[in-house]
Amino acid sequence: MEFEESKAAMSKALSDRNMDEFRSTAADAVSASEDTFELIQLTSIITVAGQADLASQAAEKAGSLVGDDPKRRAEAAGALRALGFPMVAYRILKGMEGGDPIHRITATCLVDMEEYESALDELVQIQDHTVYDRIMLSRIYSSLGEHAKAIELAELIEHENPGLYDAMVRYVDALMMAGRQKDAIKYARERLKAKDADGNAIAAYVMRISGKEKSAVGYAMRAINIDQKHIGAMETLGICLAQKGEVEKARIVAGAINEISPGHKSAMEIIHYLERSHAQLLGQLGLLPRAVAEPDLPPELGAYERQRDNDLQTTQPHEDH
């Protein structure tokens, strides 16, 4: 079967909820393909379908066939890292030269692998830092326990980049990882005064991390009503639905994100959360093949950023008084 025919057959199997057929077709496609970027497409499709072990096989094969062309290697590494395979991406990048872009993606892979000191070594070699490099630096500081530096930098980034959602998220992340949940909630309340999508999305994010699922869903829905393509709000909504056991709705949200931005990490995060938390239920609903739904399988590969650093290292819900 040709590659495009295989993709069409996989799409039909998904529509029919025939995951055994999907898995069989996908496995044959992975086995037959000798093209790195075909295999990356397969990795994306298979990951969104919740087939972590088969997606890992596709990603590993893609990495092994990438060849020596520097541009091709960098593009493949970036795509595989975004799909949740930082180790494969890192192996592709290792030893490559290429200035800031290579240092940047290598640092990102190392952060995903929780190798924070090595990530810092890569990050400081970047000559022309972007706002996202600085956001990554703040995250590294938080992960290394240097919370004062992380918060100071995150606050500066947020101040210098008003309206940048990722900067807002990093600021509240920094606060909450430092144990300052009340300050994060206070910030979210201030952002709500703007009555925009970002403000509601930030409030949803903070409420989810604080253990207030119902409030998180409410704010996320408000954000989506304002901006139907707000991926941050959709991610929060999808994870809350997964936490509540509403598997089908969570997968619909992940699929909507993937339609807006194919292969977006937020969609992968929702899917990986579902795999980790609801494998048996997914199997019962026909959304995973029987073999994958067995409870004694090992954890999935490429899990999403350790569920946002283990939900920002919080262990108890924090009440908003």
For residue range 150-178, list pLDDT tens digits in order.
Answer: 999 999 999 999 999 999 999 999 999 99
Confidence class for position 307, pLDDT limits 50, 70, 90:
very low
pLDDT at 56 (0 to 100): 95
> What Rg, from alpha-carbon coordinates, does the chain have?
20
Q: What confidence tens digit (pLDDT) does each residue in 229-277 have?
A: 999 999 999 999 988 888 889 989 988 998 898 778 888 788 777 776 6
In angstroms, the CA 142 to CA 6 distance is 44
Q: What confidence tens digit (pLDDT) does each residue in 84-110 have?
A: 899 999 999 998 888 999 999 999 999
* CATH code of the domain made up of 97-178: 1.25.40.10
Pick from 87, 93, 91: nearest CA to 105: 93
In angstroms, the CA 203 to CA 64 distance is 43
Contact 94, 121 (CB under 8 A): no
In angstroms, the CA 180 to CA 150 distance is 13
Amino acid at 99: G
Pick from 197, 276, 195, 184: nearest CA to 237: 197
Three-state SS at 89: helix
Query: What is the pTM assigned to this prediction?
Result: 0.79
Alpha-carbon torsion 217, 219, 220, 225, what sign? Answer: positive
Confidence class for position 188, pLDDT limits 50, 70, 90:
very high
| Longest CA pairwise span in the chain (Å) | 60
In angstroms, the CA 142 to CA 135 distance is 11
DSSP annotation of 299 reads: P
Top-confidence residue, 301 or 117: 117
Domain boundaries 183-321, CATH class: mainly alpha
Pick from 121, 93, 87, 125: nearest CA to 106: 93
Alpha-carbon torsion 31, 34, 40, 42, what sign? Answer: negative
pLDDT at 247 (0 to 100): 85
